[in-house]
Structure 1
């Protein structure tokens, strides 16, 4: 059986998925353990980028204008890659899932939700919170597992780092299948973005240790 995994990341104009836009989408497709495609595209943006976003990402208005594809083209590229069954993997997947949903909904309103709901989703942030003490950003995971550091806050570099972190998480404890379609959230703030029916959400506390099998979030949710 062919196992397709898509590691993905977005850079955006802000945090609100309803009124902000993706400006960079990166995907690494892995089939049977081998990288078969690296996708990384800027998306044109009709306004000027907020200064804070340029400072964080290094992405400029000129880069988007000169190198960016149309939003419609990137939405088409994304849709094409999601037509086959796949395991979608991101760090803080709730954020990226919310953004790609609104991107697809804009151009494929009748397909977007169904397209995403048939896939499986894995959030490495949720896994990391059950393994390591705070903090839990991708850069922290890279340092915990001594993965080579990259240019963080650029989607393709973050995606490459994510791929390496995933492999380390799998080697550390082979329970990642339990986390499919399970997203943890900070009980202080609740679920951010759009709440999806095909995802199980659970309030996730911080730990200072790797929790035993019976305390991982998927098992705590299943007991409720």
Structure 2
């Protein structure tokens, strides 16, 4: 089985007007990490100062180390083979950006077909059924006693994501139940486009791990 743990750093929160500036992937096949991918994208314009402050990524880094968006889009497309399980924390956010990145370089119908033939797991949705608020990746890392990384850098976040996912599996082996199901806060609704291959469900906060019969996929 092929699994890709992935994360993006972006110029902002709006998937239609902002861009990915770093894409990272850990590719796992048959339980073994076979590829570690990390690329900066040279967006050919200045970064917002707030993004540099948060991520530590500078204009100079994108210019000297970055590659074209088209190159990253091709790398991504080549890795998205049918049946691959894609895992991200707050997957809806990263999926929205990946969708728009690919559609800037490939026909929409082709991209829709690629994404539809993948499976998607949102660890944020799982964590909301396992621990009390807050639920960011850093909080899950601390909750499960995992070594902290340089958060807000995509490659480090993917490594933390991998460790968190292993901890979730060891804690309770029900991750398969969450595949292609994303929880959302009823107060705010779904952020970004709704994808036909994802089932969206209202998800409320809990103070501790919920009973196996009351996890979001079964509600």
Shift of 1:83: 2.5
Instruction: Tell me how far apart the structure 2 counterparts of residues 75 and 69 of structure 1 sit (CA, whole Å).
Output: 11
Shift of 1:45: 1.2
2:7 corresponds to: 9
Structure 1: runs of 5 or more not aligned: none
Instruction: Tell me how far apart the structure 1 counterparts of residues 31 and 81 of structure 2 sit (CA, whole Å).
Output: 20
1:62 corresponds to: 60
Number of matched pairs: 218
Instruction: Tell me how far apart the structure 2 counterparts of residues 202 and 134 of structure 1 sit (CA, whole Å).
Output: 18
- Report matched runs for 1:191-210 at 5 Å: 191-210=190-209
**TM-score w.r.t. structure 2 length?**
0.98
Instruction: Tell me how far apart the structure 2 counterparts of residues 133 and 29 of structure 1 sit (CA, whole Å).
Output: 30
2:181 corresponds to: 182
Q: Deviations over 1:103-161 (max 9, x none)?
A: 01111123111100110000000000000000000000000001110000000000000
| Structure 1 residue matching 2:34: 3-state secondary structure | strand
Is 1:83 aligned to 2:84, yes or no? Answer: no
Instruction: Tell me how far apart the structure 2 counterparts of residues 211 and 84 of structure 1 sit (CA, whole Å).
Output: 33
Cα RMSD, aligned residues only: 0.6
Instruction: Tell me how far apart the structure 2 counterparts of residues 79 and 50 of structure 1 sit (CA, whole Å).
Output: 28
| Structure 2 residue matching 1:107: 3-state secondary structure | coil
2:165 corresponds to: 166
Q: Deviations over 1:69-109 (max 9, x none)?
A: 10000000000000242100000000000000000111112
- Report matched runs for 1:201-220 at 5 Å: 201-220=200-219
Instruction: Tell me how far apart the structure 1 counterparts of residues 208 and 84 of structure 2 sit (CA, whole Å).
Output: 31
Q: Which moved more, 1:83-92 or 1:60-69?
A: 83-92
1:123 corresponds to: 122
Shift of 1:43: 0.2
**TM-score w.r.t. structure 1 length?**
0.96
Instruction: Tell me how far apart the structure 1 counterparts of residues 151 and 103 of structure 2 sit (CA, whole Å).
Output: 28
Misfit runs of 4+, over 2 Å: none
